Amino acid sequence: MSLFWNITGYINNIVIELQKPNLQQKATFFRLLAVSQKAGLGIRASLLSLQQGETHQGLMLILEDMIQKLTEGSSLAEAMEHHMHFFKSDEIELIRSTEITGSMAQTLEEIADNLEESQNINAKVKKALTYPTLVIIFTVVAVIVLLIFVMPTIVTMYGDPEDLPWITKFMLNASHFLQERWFTLLIGMVGTVVGYQLLYMQVLVFKMFIDALLLKVPLVKNVIRLFYMSRFTSLLGQFYEAGVSPVISFGLLASIFDNFSYKRKMIEIKNSISAGFSIYESMEGSELFDPILIQIINVGENTGSLTEVLKKISIYYTSSLKNAIDALMAIIEPLLMAFVACIVGVLLGAIYLPMADMVNQIK
């Protein structure tokens, strides 16, 4: 019976995930809710207005349930908590604090801005990865076709296989392996991908190793650091402006950040603040953040302008992140072309070296 309920729950999770609205629809939801609040509508009336113009089935169900919860006397944050697959903990906490301070429209607008910025960065990353991915896929397909269909036919023209150059013998062996055991290679590739994902999700030591390794890879570490500094300054500035306590703010950041090194640092800062230290003292000496950022936080804490300082420097880090992604792609593209050129060179060498030997013998 327990197995039945586990399977049922798994299927329900898949259905919920398929019906989940995308990031653009989520940003639009907060943007329209902010506009409704500026127009003077109540929260429930705003949700009713959004529901009438919504066409996405998943979001319609979410709006219907939230309206029902508000009718029963729940707050907006409490209604959002019933849909944690759609709303994140930081968004809920921002709304909860705003319901006390009364700056609902501004907070909703800032959440929408943050989501739209995240969508722009995601789109930029996807666009940057599309070209290398397609090149690699086409290269792999072309190599497989050449090895399976072309190489065996051409090699028969060269006489005794034992007299062939070593590179041709190697490619011929690879051709035989693909013809006879292609399923082994396929299972190995799928197993590697699935195994990596399971290890990363389930084995903490493996996740710690991969996350730490990414922060040391020359071409990637700068993009990762800028991404987390952009998220850190943006979210912390929003939390402080909404009146969220520092301890809760860093607890939320720890739950939001995926990289284990940054997650652990957020927990360390949270514990340090609980013990009476300042944010600057908790961050001082950390290699995960720019020294200039740590000094700016120190100035913001001493002058009482930390919220404004964080929001301004967040704009700088977001812009730097976009430039870093462009710079990374400018480096990856020639490296990718060099990689493809090496593969083509090996294949051409395997095919034409025996032909050159035959020509020399004839001469």
Rounded Cα–Cα distance for residues 175 and 350 (Å): 12
Helices (H) and strands (E) in the chain, counts: 16, 0
What's the mean pLDDT in 227-239?
90
pLDDT band at 295 (very low <50, low <70, confident <90, very high): very high
| C-alpha distances out from residue 257 to 15, 132, 169, 175, 264, Å | 26, 27, 50, 45, 9
- Read off the pTM: 0.77
Domains and CATH numbers, the chain: 2-87 (no CATH), 100-363 (1.20.81.30)
pLDDT band at 240 (very low <50, low <70, confident <90, very high): confident
- Mean pLDDT, rounded, of the chain: 83
Q: What is the dihedral of CA 96, 97, 101, 102, to 10 degrees?
A: -30
pLDDT given at position 168? 77
Q: Quick check: 9 pLDDT over 50?
A: no
Rounded Cα–Cα distance for residues 265 and 258 (Å): 12
Tokens (6 digits) for 164: 């062939």
pLDDT given at position 269? 93
Tokens (6 digits) for 98: 């705003």
What's the mean pLDDT in 101-111?
84
What's the mean pLDDT in 47-75?
88
Tokens (6 digits) for 67: 């309206």
What's the mean pLDDT in 69-85?
89
The more confidently predicted of residues 147 and 282 is 282
Identify the DSSP state of 329: H
Q: Quick check: 10 pLDDT over 60?
A: no
User: How many CB atoms neighbour CB 270 within 10 A?
Assistant: 20
pLDDT given at position 49? 87
pLDDT band at 98 (very low <50, low <70, confident <90, very high): confident
Identify the DSSP state of 289: S
How many CA within 13 A on the CB side of residue 35? Answer: 10
Give CA angle at 194 (192, 198), nearest 5°. Answer: 115
Rounded Cα–Cα distance for residues 247 and 220 (Å): 31
Least confident of 51-55, 75-79, 165-169, 240-244: 165-169
Rounded Cα–Cα distance for residues 309 and 332 (Å): 34
